[in-house]
């Protein structure tokens, strides 16, 4: 066992210095800054349950069950547990690791949020005076951003009308920008992230999901559909439908162009030959 870990009566005390050493090791292996930030956030969430840093062999497993009970997706729980397991492996605390939940079945049908249900969520948020929840619903459904991308929704990005996420530009609808800047003005936020806690920290997935799900009753929408993932899926399906309609319009426009050209310079006997074969 790593001598840096203090063991007392079956418990182990993990220090902040050990965690930083582990993250430094990841950086040395070429992990990206975004990945390391995600690992740090997951570890901080874990040790928030054990503020003294003292854990037992079942601590990680108990945290896994708590996360699942909160309704987090198994894939999210797996990532968080993997971060903890990585630290424990670094400290050679093998028996303190927890078995991650299996990845969800990709063939499983996910609940789909309709646009009418989405609009009811917005109406409910307005009626309840929940401006933050209103804007969160709109940001996910209008831009397709993920929860982990929320810190990138800054005053500066909104003023420019676009986000740079994963080396791709995401446009922000002008009407949404107006509402976000109005919200920033009310909150006295002149720069930086718009969606943060009172302490200035990024909203966690649990907090975001809770804010959206509180609208379920008033909106008459199943709580299972009131989460960032379903809102993002609505955005993707909406774009897919628009793209399909555009593809049909393009095909129809091309066919009309060909027909117009046929009238102008088509081979005159074509219609006669076609009629001959149709008669046979």
pLDDT tens-digit map of 112-171: 899 999 999 999 999 999 999 999 999 999 998 988 889 999 999 999 999 888 777 888
What pLDDT shows up at residue 1?
44
Of residues 142, 187, 148, the one with CA closest to residue 162 = 142
Contacts of 32 (CB under 8 A, 6+ apart): none
**Cβ–Cβ contacts within 10 Å for residue 234, how many?**
21
Distances (CA, A) of 18 to 2, 46, 51, 86: 10, 14, 15, 12
Coil, helix or strand at residue 72? coil
What pLDDT shows up at residue 75?
76
- The dihedral built from the CA positions of residue 87, 100, 222 and 107, taken in this order, carries a sign that is positive
What pLDDT shows up at residue 269?
59
- Specify the domain boundaries for CATH 1.10.443.10 within the chain: 115-234
What pLDDT shows up at residue 109?
53
Q: Classify domain 115-234 by CATH number.
A: 1.10.443.10
Distances (CA, A) of 256 to 160, 243, 249, 270: 40, 20, 10, 18
* Tokens 């430094």, residue located: 24
- List, for the chain, all residue ranges whose pLDDT scores fall below the cut of 50: 1-8, 106-108, 276
What pLDDT shows up at residue 248?
80
What pLDDT shows up at residue 280?
54
Q: Classify domain 6-96 by CATH number.
A: 1.10.150.130
Of residues 195, 110, 207, the one with CA closest to residue 149 = 195
* DSSP 8-state secondary structure symbol assigned to residue 102: P
What pLDDT shows up at residue 29?
81
What pLDDT shows up at residue 23?
93
What pLDDT shows up at residue 106?
43
Crossing angle for the helix pair 74-90 and 59-69, nearest 10 degrees? 160
What pLDDT shows up at residue 36?
87
230 contacts 112 by C-beta, under 8 angstroms: yes
- Specify the domain boundaries for CATH 1.10.150.130 within the chain: 6-96
């Amino acid at each position: 066992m790593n001598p840096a870990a203090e063991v007392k009566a079956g418990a182990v005390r993990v220090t902040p210095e050990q965690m930083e050493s582990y993250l430094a090791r990841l950086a040395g292996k070429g992990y990206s800054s975004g990945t390391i930030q995600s690992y740090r956030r997951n570890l901080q969430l874990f040790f928030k349950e054990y503020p003294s840093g003292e854990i037992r062999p079942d601590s990680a497993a108990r945290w896994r069950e708590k996360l699942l009970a909160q309704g987090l997706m198994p894939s999210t729980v797996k990532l968080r547990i993997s971060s903890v397991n990585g630290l424990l492996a670094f400290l050679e605390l093998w028996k303190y690791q927890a078995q991650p939940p299996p990845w969800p079945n990709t063939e499983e049908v996910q609940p789909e949020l309709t646009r009418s249900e989405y609009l009811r969520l917005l109406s409910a948020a307005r009626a309840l005076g929940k401006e933050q929840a209103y804007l969160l619903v709109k940001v996910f459904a209008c831009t397709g951003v993920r929860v982990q991308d929320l810190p990138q929704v800054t005053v500066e990005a909104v003023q420019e009308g676009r986000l740079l996420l994963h080396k791709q530009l995401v446009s922000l609808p002008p009407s949404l920008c107006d509402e976000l800047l109005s919200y920033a003005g009310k909150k006295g936020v002149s720069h930086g992230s718009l969606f943060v806690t009172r302490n200035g920290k990024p909203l966690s997935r649990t907090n975001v999901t809770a804010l959206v799900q509180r609208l379920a009753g008033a909106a008459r929408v199943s709580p299972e559909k009131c989460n960032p993932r379903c809102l993002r899926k609505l955005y993707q399906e909406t774009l897919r439908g628009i793209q399909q309609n555009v593809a049909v319009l393009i095909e129809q426009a091309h066919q009309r162009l060909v027909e117009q050209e046929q009238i102008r310079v088509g081979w005159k006997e074509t219609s006669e030959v076609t009629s001959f074969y149709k008669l046979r």
